[in-house]
C-alpha cells in the first residue's frame, strides 16, 4: 500500500480537544483525512488539535455536548457541507465516574451513562444515514478495558463502557451487509488529562503505581498508541474487521503476574 492511508476520507471525531480524540484527529489528518472535531471544551490554541488543523487546513471544530441530539446532527450536517460525506466516526468523548453502587450520586451515574453511552449513540445516528447511502463507513467507539472486565469502584463507568462494547457488536451485525464496519477500542490506562486528573486525587498515587504495574509492558499507554489502532480500524487495512472490541492495553487484560516470571529471570 502506498500513499497516505486516509487520503480523501472525511472523519468526524468526538472528544477532539484532548487526549485520545485529539491524537486521533491529528493522526488522521497526517494520513490525509479531512477532520471535523466535536468537544464540550474549546479547541485548544496549541498542541494536538492545532497540529491536526495545520496538517489539514480544511478541518473544522465545533464546541458542543455529544448528548445534545440537535447539536450533534447540526455538526454532522455542517461537516458534510464543508468537507464531504463522512467516512469515519470516532466516538472518543467520555467522562470518568464511579463509586460503590450504594454510594454513587444518581446525577453522577446518569451523567456518566449519558456521555459515554448516549454520547456514543447520537453521533453514530448522525452519520449512519449517509454511510448507509454510500454503503461504506467505519465507526470506532473508544470503550475501555473497563468495558470488558471489572474494576473496583468503577460502577457507572464500567457499566457504560460494557454497554458500548455490546452496542459495537450489535451495530456490526445490523450494518455489516451495508458495508459499514463498527469496532471498539478498549484502551488500558493511557496518559491523558483524564488519567492525570484521576491520579491527581488525594491518596491515589500508590494506586496509580499498582495500576501501572498491572500492564504487562510495565507502563501506561500514550494517546498516539490508541490513535494508531484507530487509524488501522478507520483505513481499508482493516477491511475484514468488524464487531471486535480490541484491547490496546499493554497486556492489562492478558492475565496476572504473581512473581513466577521473576523466578524464571523474566524481570
Ligand atoms: N485515559 C485513559 O486511561 C482511558 C482508558 C480507557 C478509555 N478511555 C476513554 O477514552 C476516551 C477519551 O478519553 P481521554 O483519556 O482522552 O480523556 P480526556 O479527558 O483527555 O478527553 C476527553 C474529551 O472528551 C470531552 N468531553 C467530555 N464530555 C463531553 C461531552 N458531553 N460532549 C463533548 N465532549 C465531551 C472532554 O472535554 C475532553 O476533551 C474516553 O471515552 C475515555 O473513557 C480513556
Query: How does pLDDT run across 144-184, given as a tens digit for each residue?
Result: 999 999 999 999 999 999 999 999 999 999 999 999 999 99
Q: What is the pLDDT of residues 224-238, one digit of tens each?
A: 999 999 999 999 999
- pLDDT of res. 46: 61
Q: Is the pLDDT of residue 48 over 60?
A: no
- pLDDT (mean) for 74-83: 97
- pLDDT of res. 203: 86
Measured between alpha carbons, how far is 49 from 262 in angstroms, rounded to an integer?
42
**CATH of region 10-251, choose from 3.40.50.300, 1.10.3430.10, 3.40.50.720, 3.40.50.1980:** 3.40.50.720
- pLDDT of res. 225: 98
- pLDDT (mean) for 40-55: 68
Residue 245 Cα to ligand 1 midpoint, Å, equals 18
Tell me the three cell numbers of residue 241. Answer: 474487521
Residue 239 Cα to ligand 1 midpoint, Å, equals 27
Asked if 26 and 11 count as a contact pair (C-beta separation under 8 A), the reply is no
- Ligand 1 near 187 CB (within 6 A): yes
Q: Is the pLDDT of residue 45 over 90?
A: no
What count of other Cβ atoms lies within 10 Å of the Cβ of residue 77? 12
Q: Is the pLDDT of residue 58 over 80?
A: no
Average pLDDT across the chain, whole number = 94
Q: Is the pLDDT of residue 242 over 70?
A: yes
Q: Is the pLDDT of residue 67 over 80?
A: yes
Tell me the three cell numbers of residue 77. Answer: 450536517
If we measure between CA atoms, which residue out of 175, 172, 192 comes closest to residue 183? 172
Q: Ligand 1, residues 19, 44, 108, 114: which to mutate, most atoms within 8 A of Cβ?
A: 19
DSSP string, 104-138: S-HHHHHHHHIIIIIHHHHHHHHHHHHHHHHT-EE
Confidence band of 2 (pLDDT split at 50, 70, 90)? low
Half-sphere exposure of 69 (CA within 13 A, CB side): 3
Confidence band of 205 (pLDDT split at 50, 70, 90)? confident
Residue 236 Cα to ligand 1 midpoint, Å, equals 26
Q: What is the pLDDT of residues 86-133, one digit of tens each?
A: 999 999 999 999 999 999 999 999 999 999 999 999 999 999 999 999
Q: Is the pLDDT of residue 47 over 70?
A: no
- pLDDT of res. 52: 58
Residue 60 Cα to ligand 1 midpoint, Å, equals 19
> What residue segments make up the domains of the chain, in order of their start?
10-251
- pLDDT of res. 22: 95
- Ligand 1 near 93 CB (within 6 A): yes
- Ligand 1 near 230 CB (within 6 A): no
Measured between alpha carbons, how far is 150 from 161 in angstroms, rounded to an integer?
10
- pLDDT (mean) for 25-41: 96
Measured between alpha carbons, how far is 181 from 113 in angstroms, rounded to an integer?
24
Catalytic residues: 157
Q: What residue owns the CA closest to ligand 1's atom 11? A: 92
Tell me the three cell numbers of residue 181. Answer: 464496519
Taking the alpha carbons at both ends of the chain, their separation in whole angstroms is 38
Measured between alpha carbons, how far is 160 from 151 in angstroms, rounded to an integer?
13
Percent of the chain with pLDDT over 70: 94
Amino acid at each position: 500500500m502506498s500513499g497516505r492511508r486516509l487520503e480523501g476520507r472525511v472523519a468526524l471525531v468526538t472528544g477532539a480537544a484532548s487526549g485520545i480524540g485529539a491524537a486521533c484527529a491529528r493522526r488522521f489528518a497526517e494520513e490525509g483525512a479531512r477532520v471535523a472535531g466535536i468537544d464540550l471544551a474549546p479547541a485548544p490554541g496549541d498542541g494536538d488539535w492545532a497540529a491536526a488543523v495545520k496538517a489539514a487546513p480544511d478541518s473544522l471544530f465545533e464546541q458542543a455536548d455529544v448528548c445534545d441530539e440537535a447539536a450533534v446532527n447540526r455538526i454532522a450536517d455542517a461537516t458534510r457541507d464543508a468537507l464531504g460525506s463522512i467516512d469515519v466516526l470516532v466516538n472518543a468523548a467520555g467522562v470518568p465516574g464511579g463509586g460503590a453502587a450504594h454510594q454513587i450520586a444518581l446525577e453522577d451515574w446518569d451523567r456518566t451513562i449519558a456521555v459515554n453511552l448516549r454520547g456514543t449513540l447520537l453521533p453514530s445516528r448522525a452519520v449512519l444515514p449517509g454511510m448507509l447511502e454510500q454503503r461504506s463507513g467505519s465507526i470506532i467507539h473508544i470503550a475501555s478495558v473497563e468495558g470488558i472486565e471489572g474494576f473496583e469502584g468503577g460502577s457507572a463507568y464500567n457499566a457504560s463502557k460494557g454497554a458500548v462494547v455490546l452496542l459495537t457488536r450489535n451495530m456490526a451485525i445490523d450494518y455489516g451487509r451495508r458495508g459499514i464496519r463498527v469496532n471498539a477500542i478498549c484502551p488500558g490506562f493511557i496518559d491523558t488529562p483524564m488519567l492525570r486528573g484521576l491520579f491527581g486525587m488525594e491518596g491515589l498515587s500508590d494506586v496509580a503505581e499498582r495500576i501501572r504495574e498491572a500492564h504487562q509492558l510495565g507502563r501506561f499507554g500514550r494517546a498516539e498508541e490508541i490513535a494508531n489502532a484507530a487509524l488501522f480500524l478507520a483505513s481499508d487495512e482493516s477491511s475484514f474487521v468488524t464487531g471486535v472490541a480490541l484491547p490496546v492495553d499493554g497486556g492489562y487484560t492478558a492475565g496476572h503476574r504473581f512473581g513466577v516470571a521473576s523466578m524464571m529471570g523474566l524481570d
